[in-house]
Amino acid sequence: WSTSDHPDAGSVRDLLGATRAALLDALGEPASSTDLALRFGVSTSAVNQHLRVMERGGLLNRSRYGRAVLYYRSAVGDALTRT
């Protein structure tokens, strides 16, 4: 058996899809869905759909900061983005 400590970035993109992989990469620093939508040029609703799926999958955490909800990578998300 062979294992790797660092997943291949292309494999992560293939597994998650290009949009979710890019969002996961961007969430090394906490950000709101509105910030991410502006950064990626898509609707906040579209970003929220992706964030909810990734949070349910254990890749993200979220925390309220004033009136905003900030998303950031979990330990599992960090492990997937290490290359």
CATH number at residue 73: 1.10.10.10
Q: How far is the C-alpha of 40 from the C-alpha of 81, rounded, in Å?
A: 18
pLDDT reported for residue 4: 61
pTM for the whole structure: 0.83
DSSP3 helix / strand / coil % (the chain, rounded to 5): 55, 15, 30
Domains of the chain: total: 1
Domain that holds residue 24: 9-81
Distance from CA of residue 46 to its chain's centroid? 13
Top-confidence residue, 8 or 45:
45
DSSP-assigned letter for residue 6: S
Q: Is the pLDDT of residue 28 over 60?
A: yes
Task: Classify residue 2: in a domain, yes or no.
Answer: no
Task: Classify residue 26: in a domain, yes or no.
Answer: yes
- When pLDDT is averaged across residues 61-83 and rounded to a whole number, the result is 91
Task: Classify residue 4: in a domain, yes or no.
Answer: no
Tell me how far CA of residue 29 lies from CA of 11, 50, 70, in angstroms: 22, 17, 9
Say what percent of the chain tops pLDDT 70. Answer: 88
Task: Classify residue 30: in a domain, yes or no.
Answer: yes
